[in-house]
Amino acid sequence: MIPVMRPLLGEEEAQAVADVVRSGWVAQGPRVAEFERAIAASVGAAHGVATSSCTTALHLALHALGIGPGDEVVVPSLSFIATANAVRYCGAVPVFADVDPMTGNLTAETVTAVRTPRTRAVLVVHQAGVPADVAAIRAACSDIPVVEDAACAMGSTWGGRPVGTGALMSAWSFHPRKLLTTGEGGMITTDDAELAARLRRLREHGMTVSAADRHAAGRNSVEEYAETAFNYRLTDIQAAMGLVQLRRLPGIVARRRELAARYTALLAPLGLPTVRDPEGGTSNFQSFWVVLPDSAPPVADVLTALAEAGVSARRGIMAAHREPAYAGHPHGPLPVTEHLTTRSLILPLHHDLTDDEQGTVVAALAAAVGLTAPSPSPSYR
C-alpha cells in the first residue's frame, strides 16, 4: 500500500531521545527552551512558546486574548475540526466563513461577509500548507486580532518570508501528519514579549516560576498561581526530537515541492484542478489535493477503487459544519466549502515516494474517475 503520509525519522531522532532519557530530565526543560528558540528563529518570530499540540496552542492563544462567552470568532469550516473547537473551548461561538476555491483559504471578502458587532477575532488557517493572504485579512479587520492556525504551514512562505512572520500569534503543529513531528506537539510564535510571558505561564498551571527554573535555581523559590490555567506543556523528549526534525525541514520542503510539481505535470492531461502555489506565496504541499469533476463518481467510491489499486488516499479537507459535533450550529451559505469538501481528495505525498509510485497513483486515479491515463512523458520515466 502506498501510504498517504509518512514521517521522515532517522537514527538521529532515536539518539536524541535516548540522550534525554539518560539525562534524567524528561519533562519541560532545557530542550524545550532550545526548541522554542530554534522554531522562532526559523519562522522569523521573536518568541516561541511550546505546547502539547496545536489544538492546545490555539486554545491558549484565544484564551490569552480574553475570548469568552458571548464572543464570536471567524474561522473556516473547511479545516481540521480543532480550529473550530478551540473557539468552543473558550465558550465562544465559531462563525464559519467560506473560502477561496483555488487556495481553500479564508479571504478578506469571505471574512468581512460574516463579521458582526460580536466578532472578537479571526482564526486564519493556511490550509494544507497553502499560505493565506493574512495581510489582506488584517487590513480588512484592523480593529480585531488575527491569529494564524499554521498547523500545516511550516516551511511555506508568503512574500518571500516564512509564513507567520510578524503575526500577533501563529500556532504550529508537530503531529506526524505535518512536515515536522515530535509525536504530538505544538508551538505559538509571537513578536510580543509580554504575550509570550503570559502564554508561558498559562501553559504551566499559571505558575509565576516554572518548574524547570525552580530546579535550575537550586534553592527554595516558591511559585505563585496568579490565575486558573492549564497543563499544556511539551516534554524535553519531544523537543529533542523536534530539534533534529527542524534540521531536516529544508530538504523535506524541497522534496515535497518536487513531488507536487511532478503530480501537477502528470495530472495535467486529465484536466483535474489540483492544489498549487497561490500568487504571492509558496506552499510546502503538506497535502496534495485534486478536485474531481461532477461527472466523476463520488469521492468515497474513488477512494475504494484507489485502495484496491494499492493507493491509500484520503477524502479532501473536512468541513466542521457537516460533522455531528456541529449539527444545528447556525451558519450562512458555504458553497465553495461544500464543493471542495465533497469533491476533492488527497493523494499520497511523502519524502520517499518514488516516480513509479506516483505513476501508479495517477493511473489508478485516472481509471477510478473514468479518464484516460496519460502516457508518461519521457522526462518523467
Q: List interacting residues with ligand PLP (CB under 6 A).
A: 53-55, 79-80, 82-83, 125, 149, 151-152, 173, 175, 186
Q: Rounded distance, CA 264 to CA 104, Å?
A: 17
For residue 178, indicate whether it is catalytic.
yes
Half-sphere exposure of 221 (CA within 13 A, CB side): 13
Orientation of helix 54-64 relative to helix 82-89, angle to 10°: 40
Taking the complex as a whole, the smallest distance from the CB of residue 214 to ligand PLP amounts, in Å, to 28
Between 110 and 358, CB nearer to ligand PLP: 110
For residue 324 the three cell numbers come to 455531528
Q: Which is nearer to ligand PLP, 175 or 198 (CB)?
A: 175
Taking the CA atoms of 108, 112, 117 and 118 in sequence, report the sign of the dihedral they define.
Answer: negative
Based on CB atoms, which residue is closest to ligand PLP, 53 or 283?
A: 53
Q: How far apart are CA 170 and CA 125, in angstroms?
A: 10
Instruction: Kindly state the smallest distance separating residue 306's Cβ from ligand PLP, in Å.
Output: 22
Alpha-carbon gap, residue 275 to 2, rounded angstroms:
20
What is the smallest separation between the CB atom of 356 and ligand PLP, expressed in angstroms? 29
Q: Which of 31, 178, 200, 256 is catalytic?
A: 178
State the minimum distance, in angstroms, from the CB of residue 104 to ligand PLP.
11
> How far apart (Å, rounded) are the C-alpha atoms in residues 67 and 87?
8
How many Cα atoms are found within 13 Å in the side-chain-facing hemisphere of 205? 7
6/214 with CB nearer ligand PLP: 6
Strand order in the sheet with 119-125: 47-51, 186-190, 169-173, 146-149, 119-125, 72-76, 93-97
Q: Enumerate the active-site residues.
A: 178
